Amino acid sequence: MMQLTTPDRDGYYMPGEFEPHKGCILIWPRRPGSWPCGAKPAREVFTRVIEAIAQSETVYLAVEEETQDSAGEALTELVADGRVVLFQAQTDDAWARDVGPTFVVSKEDDIEKRKLRCVDWAFNAWGGEYNGLYASWEKDDAFAGVFARAHGIPVYDAHPFVLEGGSIHSDGEGTLLVTETCLLSKGRNPSLTKRQIEEKLMEYLGARKVLWLPCGIYLDETDEHVDNVCAFLKPGEVVLAWTDNREDPQYAMSKACLDYLERETDAKGRHLIVHKLPIPEHPICVKEEDLQGYQFEEGEDVRSVGDRLAASYVNFYFSNDAVVLPAFGEENEESDIRAAQIMQKLCPDRRVIPVPARDILLGGGNIHCITQQIPKGEKG
């Protein structure tokens, strides 16, 4: 049996999301406390996201016995031609980014020769007993290992270190983006110092420098994941969620992130180029009609009328040939168009595919949160 130590010692590292993919993991939604009305509205959006991604990479979709038929019916043609592969795995919810494995690859000059492995973090529903969003998360915590074993990918077990995939972004050249509000929250790894958390990230992701943004998106219930506020477009270049409205609480938060990024350098010593990507002009809040159809369990975070949702266009997914971008519609149609135009200018070699994503946002995240890329590489 192959003896694994840690990714860094074995010469493995986390590549950038903008690098070539082998595929993408999603989980078919069903949880009544996240996806109302039998998850029908959410499944329609998930289908749109899957269709966009499957144009250029294979989608591996986790289903359960009771959800397999609905997934198969929604994606009949894609399943038939192999662009979507259904596999059975039990989960508590559908946030593949946070419960799925983080993939690392070997350091090779030729990308075609890269080897692929997984990191399996501990997951505790974004805060455990301190401020977790639901009371039971054992199935979600097991999912990364289940996926790795089912697909024969060697796995590094990082338990008991708590981390979610949405809380990290890599430039593929040794630099990680994280937020202090998330990684230093008392619900994650309260016994570890900031430096000890950095050491874990370097050990399991092959990083050389961690950039600690002070915060994320206003009222993001994940303790402000970085994937909602800032993302690498390429090494040395990031996109940052922004607003010019000084009356919006997000202004001070984004300004603090900008100030930090402008005075820092990455692992290669480069000053980062920061592109501003404005958030929706009109805040997106929970409406009375949105609450119809939810079934909340005891200990689960609930929604209330008027709650502001953490909407951001930074929560996009890079597929092999596209930017799959959230769109929010209604009074934010102009904001949607502006975001698509900005991303098209910044990513001229990719198509921008806007997907109406309000029904994902109502569940607590967005397109990046429900996806987890599998980098190009062979099992190794």
Q: Which residues contact 340 (CB under 8 A, 6 or more apart)?
A: 325, 327, 352, 354
Q: Where are the beta strands (DSSP E) in 125-272?
A: 155-162, 169-170, 175-179, 209-213, 230-234, 237-242
pLDDT (0 to 100) of residue 299: 82
For the cut 90, the answer to whether the pLDDT of residue 294 exceeds it is: no
User: Confidence class of residue 303 from pLDDT cuts 50, 70 and 90?
Assistant: confident
Q: How far is Cα 6 from Cα 207, in angstroms, rounded to an integer?
A: 12
CA separation for the pair 345, 354 (Å, rounded): 15
**Would you call the peptide bond into 160 cis, given omega within 30 degrees of 0 as the criterion?**
yes
* C-alpha span between 12 and 206 (Å, rounded): 6
Give pLDDT, residue 2. Answer: 64
- pLDDT number for residue 353: 98
| Straight-line distance from the first to the last Cα atom of the chain, in angstroms, rounded to the nearest whole number | 12
Q: Is the pLDDT of residue 291 over 90?
A: no
CA distance 131 to 188: 10
Q: Is the pTM of this model over 0.85?
A: yes
**How do residues 177-217 score in pLDDT, each as one tens digit?**
999 999 999 999 999 999 999 999 999 999 999 999 999 99
> CA nearest 355: which of 42, 52, 55?
52
Residue 185: what pLDDT?
98
Burial of 207 (0-12, 13-18, 19+ CB in 10 A): buried
- With residue 45 as reference, give the H or E element that holds it: helix 40-53
* Closest to 118 measured CA to CA, from 142, 106, 105, 101: 101
Who contacts 38 (Cβ-Cβ below 8 Å, separation ≥6)?
Answer: 32, 293
In the predicted structure, residue 16 carries a pLDDT above the cut 90? yes
Give mean pLDDT, residues 94-114: 95
- CA 54, CA 51: separation in Å to the nearest integer? 5
pLDDT digits (tens, 9 = 90+) for 234-285: 999 999 999 999 999 999 999 999 999 999 999 999 999 999 999 999 999 9
Average pLDDT over every residue of 86-90? 96
The residue from 182, 257, 347, 369 that is catalytic is: 369
For 320-372, what is each residue's pLDDT tens digit?
A: 999 999 999 999 999 999 999 999 999 999 999 999 999 999 999 999 999 99
- Evaluate whether the domain defined by 7-379 bears CATH number 3.75.10.10: yes
| Residue 3 confidence (pLDDT) above 80 | no
Encode pLDDT of 132-154 as tens digits: 999 899 999 999 999 999 999 99
Residues contacting residue 41 through CB under 8 Å, at least 6 positions apart: 35, 359
pLDDT for 21-34, tens place per residue? 999 999 999 999 99
What φ, ψ does residue 185 adopt, rounded to 5°? Answer: -70, 150
Neighbour tally for 152: CB within 10 Å: 7
Is residue 1 over pLDDT 90?
A: no
Provide the CB-side half-sphere exposure for 377 (13 A, CA). Answer: 26
Q: Would you state the pLDDT for residue 9?
A: 96
| Across 73-77, average pLDDT | 97
For residue 202, what are its two tokens? 């370097």
Indicate the length of the chain as a whole number: 380
Q: What amino acid is encoded at 223 in this protein?
A: D
Say whether 230 is catalytic: no
Domain ranges, ordered by start, for the chain? 7-379
Whether residue 111 is predicted with pLDDT greater than 60 in this model: the reply is yes
Q: Of all residues in the chain, what percent carry a pLDDT higher than 70?
A: 99
